[in-house]
Amino acid sequence: MDTSLYVAMSGAKQAMVAQAANSHNLANANTTGFKADLSQFRSMPVFGQGLPSHVYAMAERSGIDLSHGAMQQTGREMDIAISGAGWIAVQANDGTEAYTRAGDLRLTPNGLLVTGTGLPVMGGGGPVTLPESAKMEIGSDGTISVIPLGDTAATLSAVDRIKLVNPEASSIIKGKDGLFRMKNGADADASAEVRLVAGAVEGSNVSVVDAMVKMIELARTFEMQVKMMKTVTDNEAASAQLMRIG
């Protein structure tokens, strides 16, 4: 295969891969606590005997944008946002412990405290389960206090504490489910330094404007690669025509 044709073909394919990642970010521009995926292109050599001069393009996820999204005030007593660094521990669908910054919490009919996507929030001894209450408060350190039904404010008592963690950014990885986990597979230790803000949630850190500009750039890159493939094909046809004339 012609080297230029191979490079253009692989470039067009990887532009589509990058476009898919960018579209995923754009689709989650309004998702609470979402962290954008970063992507980049690089050239890779084709390994194998007789192919040292061949290269191809590759789009890869170079990392995650861990910058904080804008804090949005909601006034709901069950909404929480992390002030500064840190994560909320939740139980993923596969039963493992994972971490998120989505603090749009809910209570199930059975009293289980879950995120907006239905993931149980972890406490001191597992998923947080709360008794029926007239009022619930979440402190800045994650402590959950309730007033039992029929009691007065003087009976406000702590029932559990949300597990908050703050591992090194280099020690966590984002999974396909959008949740973060420790790279070594272990559970992160609870941190007493993480602070919460009640009545607010953290929005997505995706910039819609940047994502739209990136979409246009990738579309133009794809078109350029396709045009290059057509140019190579036309040149080969012209060369073959000259050979027939000779």
Burial classification of residue 129, based on how many CB atoms lie within 10 Å of its CB (0-12 exposed, 13-18 middle, 19 or more buried): middle
pLDDT tens figures, 35-57: 998 887 777 777 766 656 667 77
Distance of alpha carbon 125 from alpha carbon 106, whole angstroms: 19
DSSP string, 18-41: HHHHHHHHHHTTTSTT--PEEEEE
Question: What mean pLDDT value characterizes the chain?
Answer: 87
Q: What is the pLDDT of residue 89?
A: 97
Q: What is the pLDDT of residue 6?
A: 74
Please give the average per-residue pLDDT across 166-188, as a whole number.
Answer: 93
Enumerate the domain spans of the chain.
3-66+206-245, 71-202
pLDDT tens figures, 75-127: 888 999 999 999 999 999 999 999 999 999 999 999 999 999 999 999 988 99
Question: What is the percent of the chain with per-residue pLDDT over 90, rounded to a whole number?
Answer: 55
Distance of alpha carbon 51 from alpha carbon 63, whole angstroms: 30
